Structure 1
Amino acid sequence: MTTSQPRIPSQHGTLEYLRLQYDSAIASGVKRPLLFPQVLFSLALLAGFLLIDHRRSRFLYELRWPVWLAIIAVEVSNIRHRVSVDPAVSYVSGLASVYFIVWSTMWLILERPQFTAKRIERRRKVLQNGILAASGGTTQESSETTGYKMNGNGNPLKRQNGYAAALPTIDEGLSENEDSKGEWEYYWQPYPDAFGERLAWVLDLIFSIRGRGWSFSIPTNPVLPEHVAASLGETVSESDKGLASRTGIKCFRTRKELARYVIPMFILCYLILDVCKFQIIHDPFYRTGDDSLPAPAYLEGFSHFLVNRIRRNTLALALVTFIQFHTLLVPIVASLFLGPSILGIRGEPWMYVTTWGNISIVLDKGLAGYWGSWWHQTFRAGLTAPTNYLIRKGWLRGNSVASQLLRASPPNASRASAHLLPDPDRGGGGADRVLRGAAAVDRAAAAVGEEDGEWTSYVRVAVFDGSAVHE
C-alpha cells in the first residue's frame, strides 16, 4: 500500500525541487544558465554602434539594420534558452530582454539619436574682465547648430532675437550643490565629437528610460526648475513652479527635499516588502499556486474568499513596492551619496522624479488615467515611439483617433502577450507537479534523516515524475 504524499510541501522541499529542476534542464541541454557577462552583449552592441559617428557616412548609418537584427536574435535566444535558479532573476531577465528589443528598435530604427537627441549639460561660469563667461565646454550647444531651443519635454521654442536668454544667478539656497559656490550655465548638448564625452552621452541616452533632462523627455515628467529653464532660454508659468506635472509626478529643488522624500519612503518600502515576504514564505499557496491549500495558522479565522484576496493582493502590493523600492535606489546613490560634485548634473536633485502619479487621476479618467498617468511610466518612451514616428512622418495626425488607438496598442500588446502566453501551471497541472516533486524531496530528506541540507549529496530526485531514489 502506497503512502500518500504530504499535502503541504515544506519551503525547503519546494526550493530544492525547483533547484533540481534547474539542474536537470541545464544537464539535459534544454536550458542554458543565465550568466552575467552574456546578458550585457546586446547593450554592448547598441552602445558600440552609437559610439561610432555615422552622421557623415551613409554606409555606417545603414549598419543599424544588422545591429538591430543581431540584438533581436540575442534577446530572443536569452528568453527561450537562458534560465536562472532564482525565478525572480529569470523574470527580470525576460522582462529586460523584451524591453531592450523595444528600446533598441526606438534608437536604431525609429529615431536618429546622433542627429536629433540632445541632453541638458552644465558648465561653470567664470569672471573674465568683469564679464561672466562659460568656462571649459568643448561640446556644441544645440541652439547654435539648430537655430531653436527645446524645453525639458523636447518641445521646440523660438530663439529670442537670435540670442540665448540672459543667464540668471542660481539661488544657492535652492541648488544646494556642495561642490560649487559659483554659478552654472545649462545648455543643450548634442552628439559630442570628443570620444570621452561621447561615451558618457551614449550611456546616458541608453539608461535614461524616462528621458529626464533629454529632448525626448516623456510628457508626464515635471517641468524644469526655474534656474535651469531660464538658463536654457525657457520660461516657467506660475502654475508649473511647484515642479509637479499634471499627473502628479514631481521633482525636487534641493537634495534636502529629495532626502526627506526618498529616505522615509525607502524605509517604508523595506518594511512592506518584509511583511509580504513573511506572508509568501509561510503560505503554501505561493509555493505551488494551488488555491485549495490551507492558509497559514494566522489566517485560519478568515473566509476562503478573504484568504484568496489576501494572497493575490499581497502579490500586487509586493510588485508595486518592489518597483518603488528599486527606483528609490537611483536617487539615493546618484544624488544623495555621490551628488553633483562627482556626477555633475546627473547628481542634481531635480533630475529624479517620483514614480507614481496622483491616484485621483484614476477616478477622473478611469483605465486611461490608470495606465497613462498613475502607473509608472518607465517604458512609455519606447512603447509610444512607433506612433510618434508615424506622426513625425506625416502619416498620422497627432490628435486623431487613429493615433490615439495606435499609441495605446504597443503597451496593451506587450501586457497581453505577458498574460496570454501558455502557462504550464494553469489548470493545476503545474501546481500538482510541484506538490509531487516537493513531497518527494521531503520524503527523501526524512528517509536519510538529514535536515541541514547535507542530504542532497545522497539523494537524487527524478523531478519529472516526483519519485526519489537513494544512492
Structure 2
Amino acid sequence: MMAREYVSLYRQTLAERQRLYDAAIAAQEYTPFLYPWDMLPATYLLLAIMITPRLPPRLARPIRFAIFALILCHSLYLNVRRRTLWFAGGYGIGLATDWGIIMSAALLVFNDPARDFRRLETRPAKLKADTDIVANGHARMLKPAKVKLDTDVVANGSARMLETPNADASASIDLTRRQVPGVYTSTDTKQPSFPGSEQAASQPYNLVWQGFPYGQGPLHLVDWTVDLTTSFRGPNWNHRISTLGAIDAPIPPEPSANGPQNSPSKPTAVPKQSLRALQLRALQDFAVSYLLLDLLKTTMTTDAYFLGLSALDSPTPWSWLARLNEVLPFATRLIRLLISMTGVITALTFIFSLSPLFFTLILPRLVDVTILTKSPLLEPWMYAPFWYPVTTSILQSGLAGFWGKFWHQMFRFGISEPSRVLIEWLKIDKRGHVARMIQLCLAFGLSGSIHAAGSYTTFSLTPSHPFSGALSFFFTQGAGVLLQSTVAKLLQKYVPQTKSLPRFVKQSTNLAFVLVYLYFTGPLLADDFARCGIWLFEPVPFSILRGIGLGPGGKDEGWWTWYQEGSKWVGWYRGDRWWESGFAIY
C-alpha cells in the first residue's frame, strides 16, 4: 500500500477555502468578478469628465452629481454580489470600489473638471542653434504648498526617446542646472554633473499648464482624462500633493483660464544620466521587493496565524521565536506584527516599482509614446518616493509623521478633499484646532472605510471584522495623533524645561510613542488581514525559496506557486441575468 503524500496545513487551508468558494458560486450566493460589467463605474467616471465640461454649467453640475450617485450605487452592488480569490482573496474588490467612490466624489462633486484641474504637459521646444533663449517666460519653482493639498500613481505620459540627440538642441540647454528633485528623493536638488550628463535622453520640450482640452482632438482628451483619474498623487497636476517636493515649472494659471498657459517653462530635457538612474532604481526596487516578498510568503506559510487559523498570541511554530518568547513574553506578538507590516510595505513597494519600470523602460522601447500622451513621462519628479525617511517623518513628528509622511500618500488627495470643502463652506480657520479635528476625523475615517470595504468583500474561512477591525484601527490612529500633539502642547505649557531637551531625546520619544502605540493598536488591522486570508494570496509566480525546498513542503510545493488543485483563474460565467454573465475572474 502506497503512503499518502504529505499535504501541508497551508495547502489544506487553500483547498478548503477553494471548496467553499466553489460551493458559494455554484449556489449563486455570489458571482465572480465579471468583465465588462464590473468596470462600468470607471467608465461612468471617464465619460462624466469628458462630457460634462461641454454642457451649460447649470446642467453640468446636476449631471455630475447624478453620475456620482450611479457610481455609488453600482459600486455598493459589486461589494454585495462579487467575490473572487485572485484579488488578494477578494480584498481588492472592496478596496478598489470604495476608493473609486472617494475619487469620483473628489473629481465630480467637490471639484469641477472644467474649472479646477490643470496638467503640466510637454510641447516641442523651439530652439535657436547654440542659444539658451526661449520664447515667453521663465520657469519658476512650483511649491506644492501653494496648490491644493492632495494623492497617486503615474498615468500615461512621456517624452520621446532619442537614439541620436540633436547636438545643437542639447547645446542650447544646460542640463546640469535643472532644479528638480533627484531620482526617488523628496528634496529639491540641482542635478549633479556626470560625464555624459549633458546628453539628453528626450527631445527638448517646454512645460505648459493645460486645462480641460477643448477642441484639441479625442486622443488628447482621453489622455488628459485618464491621467486625471489615475494619477492619484497628481505629480504633474495643480493638485500635486505637498509631500512630493518642488519642481521647475510655470506658475499654475488662474482657474478661470482655459487652454494651455501662454508662458511656458524654459526649454528642458531629461538627461541620460537621470533617466538611467531612475530606471536602475526601479529595477532595484522590483528585484529587492520580489525577493523579499518570496521570503515573507515562504515564512508565513509555516505559521497558522498568517493562515487565519490562530490568534496573535498563540504559540509559534518557530523554535527560535518560542525560546525568545520565554525570555520576552511579548516577542511572538511583536514579531508577527512586524512581519505583517513588512509584508504590506514590501507588497506596495513591489506594486509601486512597476510604474517607473513600465513607463520609463518598457513602453518607450515598444512605441513612440509622444503620440499617446503629452505627460512628461521620463521626468524623475513623476516618480517621487512613496516612503519617507524615518528621520524626516517619525523622529520629527511622531505618529503624525508616520501617517502624514512616512506612509505612502497614494490616497491623500481623495481623502483630503471632503474636509477641504467642508472647512471652506463653514468658513473655519484652516489652521485652527477645529479644522484639524475635521481633517483628522474625515481622513482616517475614509482610510478606514477603504480597508473595511476590502475586509467585507474577502472570501475567507474565518469571518472578517470590517468595523471592529480595520475601521476601528484607523479611528484609533486619528485619536493617537491628537493624543500625542495634545500631550506635547501641555508639556511645553506646564513644563517649560521640555523645550530645551536635546534633540535626540525628542526624537527617541517620538519613535517610542509610535512603536508602543502601534504595538497595542496594530492587532486591530493585522488580525483582520490574517482573518481575511490576505496572506494566503500568492504575490509572486516563481518562488526561489520554495523551489529549493524551504517553506511548508509537501504536495503542490515547488517553483511555480500559482497553482492550487481545483482552482480556476478565468473563464466565461453565465448567470441568471444578462448583467451577471461575462468574462469572469475567480
Whether these two folds match at TM > 0.5 is yes
What SS class does the counterpart of residue 295 from structure 1 fall into? coil
Equivalent residue number for residue 67 of structure 1: 67
Quote the Cα distance in structure 2 between the aligned partners of 1:308 and 1:53. 53
Residue 266 (structure 1) aligned with residue 297 (structure 2):
no
Residue 295 (structure 1) aligned with residue 330 (structure 2):
no
Per-residue CA deviation, residues 380-433 of structure 1 (Å, 9 max, x unaligned), is: 1011101222344462222121111111112211344546989825799xx99x
CA positional deviation for 1:47: 0.2
Residue 281 (structure 1) aligned with residue 301 (structure 2):
yes
Per-residue CA deviation, residues 149-168 of structure 1 (Å, 9 max, x unaligned), is: 99363737xxxxxxxxxxx9
Per-residue CA deviation, residues 150-200 of structure 1 (Å, 9 max, x unaligned), is: 9363737xxxxxxxxxxx9533456864342xx321110010022221111
Equivalent residue number for residue 404 of structure 1: 436
Equivalent residue number for residue 385 of structure 2: 354
Q: Say if 1:270 and 1:325, in contact at 8 Å, map to a contact too.
A: yes
CA positional deviation for 1:316: 1.2
CA positional deviation for 1:208: 0.8
1:155 maps to amino acid: K
What SS class does the counterpart of residue 254 from structure 1 fall into? helix
1:192 maps to amino acid: P
Residue 338 (structure 1) aligned with residue 341 (structure 2):
no
Q: Say if 1:122 and 1:185, in contact at 8 Å, map to a contact too.
A: yes
Quote the Cα distance in structure 2 between the aligned partners of 1:455 and 1:271. 25
Equivalent residue number for residue 463 of structure 2: 424
CA positional deviation for 1:213: 0.9
CA gap of 1:29–1:133, structure 2 versus 1, over 3 A, is same
Residue 39 (structure 1) aligned with residue 30 (structure 2):
no
Quote the Cα distance in structure 1 between the aligned partners of 2:566 and 2:387. 45
CA positional deviation for 1:35: 2.4
Q: Say if 1:31 and 1:82, in contact at 8 Å, map to a contact too.
A: yes
2:435 maps to amino acid: S
* Partner of residue 191 from structure 1, selected from 192, 201, 212: 212
Quote the Cα distance in structure 1 between the aligned partners of 2:356 and 2:344. 20
Quote the Cα distance in structure 1 between the aligned partners of 2:334 and 2:356. 34
CA gap of 1:456–1:124, structure 2 versus 1, over 3 A, is closer
Instruction: Compare CA radii of gyration and give the structure with the larger one.
Output: 1
Per-residue CA deviation, residues 234-290 of structure 1 (Å, 9 max, x unaligned), is: 89xxxxxxxxxxxxxxxx982123134332232221121111011112222222330
Write the mapping of 1:321-332 to structure 2, written as runs, cut at 5 A. Answer: 321-332=346-357
Q: Say if 1:221 and 1:353, in contact at 8 Å, map to a contact too.
A: yes
Quote the Cα distance in structure 2 between the aligned partners of 1:127 and 1:226. 18
Equivalent residue number for residue 171 of structure 1: 174
Quote the Cα distance in structure 2 between the aligned partners of 1:152 and 1:87. 37
Q: Say if 2:360 and 2:377, in contact at 8 Å, map to a contact too.
A: yes
Residue 90 (structure 1) aligned with residue 87 (structure 2):
no
What SS class does the counterpart of residue 32 from structure 1 fall into? coil
1:15 maps to amino acid: L
Percent of matched pairs sharing the same residue: 24
CA positional deviation for 1:336: 2.7
What SS class does the counterpart of residue 178 from structure 1 fall into? coil
CA positional deviation for 1:56: 4.6
Equivalent residue number for residue 233 of structure 2: 210
Per-residue CA deviation, residues 349-368 of structure 1 (Å, 9 max, x unaligned), is: 22111111121221221111
Equivalent residue number for residue 345 of structure 2: 320
Quote the Cα distance in structure 2 between the aligned partners of 1:77 and 1:454. 29
The two structures have a TM-score, normalised by structure 1, of: 0.72
Per-residue CA deviation, residues 119-162 of structure 1 (Å, 9 max, x unaligned), is: 0011112358999777xxxxxx9x9xxxxx99363737xxxxxx
Q: Say if 1:18 and 1:85, in contact at 8 Å, map to a contact too.
A: no
CA gap of 1:70–1:406, structure 2 versus 1, over 3 A, is same
Write the mapping of 1:450-461 to structure 2, written as runs, cut at 5 A. Answer: none
Equivalent residue number for residue 49 of structure 1: 48
CA gap of 1:227–1:178, structure 2 versus 1, over 3 A, is farther
CA positional deviation for 1:112: 0.8
Per-residue CA deviation, residues 23-75 of structure 1 (Å, 9 max, x unaligned), is: 11112222111124333211100001111143551223321122101101111
* Partner of residue 385 from structure 1, selected from 394, 399, 417: 417
Mean Cα deviation higher: 206-215 or 274-283: 274-283
1:212 maps to amino acid: P
Mean Cα deviation higher: 395-404 or 273-282: 395-404
CA gap of 1:133–1:80, structure 2 versus 1, over 3 A, is same
Quote the Cα distance in structure 1 between the aligned partners of 2:211 and 2:387. 30
CA positional deviation for 1:313: 1.9
What SS class does the counterpart of residue 122 from structure 1 fall into? strand
Q: Say if 1:225 and 1:350, in contact at 8 Å, map to a contact too.
A: no
CA gap of 1:17–1:192, structure 2 versus 1, over 3 A, is same
Quote the Cα distance in structure 2 between the aligned partners of 1:277 and 1:454. 16
Residue 118 (structure 1) aligned with residue 118 (structure 2):
yes
Q: Say if 2:117 and 2:211, in contact at 8 Å, map to a contact too.
A: yes
CA gap of 1:199–1:419, structure 2 versus 1, over 3 A, is closer
Q: Say if 1:126 and 1:133, in contact at 8 Å, map to a contact too.
A: yes
CA gap of 1:13–1:56, structure 2 versus 1, over 3 A, is closer
Per-residue CA deviation, residues 449-468 of structure 1 (Å, 9 max, x unaligned), is: xx7899979xxxxxxxxxxx
Quote the Cα distance in structure 1 between the aligned partners of 2:250 and 2:363. 22
Q: CA RMSD in A?
A: 4.0
Quote the Cα distance in structure 2 between the aligned partners of 1:407 and 1:40. 31
The two structures have a TM-score, normalised by structure 2, of: 0.59
CA positional deviation for 1:85: 2.3
CA gap of 1:253–1:96, structure 2 versus 1, over 3 A, is farther
Quote the Cα distance in structure 2 between the aligned partners of 1:49 and 1:366. 41
Q: Say if 1:284 and 1:293, in contact at 8 Å, map to a contact too.
A: no
Quote the Cα distance in structure 2 between the aligned partners of 1:232 and 1:321. 42
Structure 1: gaps (5+ residues): 1-7, 135-140, 144-148, 157-167, 236-251, 435-450, 458-471
Quote the Cα distance in structure 1 between the aligned partners of 2:411 and 2:96. 11
Equivalent residue number for residue 151 of structure 2: none
1:387 maps to amino acid: S
Per-residue CA deviation, residues 280-329 of structure 1 (Å, 9 max, x unaligned), is: 12222222330346515675544374333333321211101111111111
Equivalent residue number for residue 151 of structure 1: 142
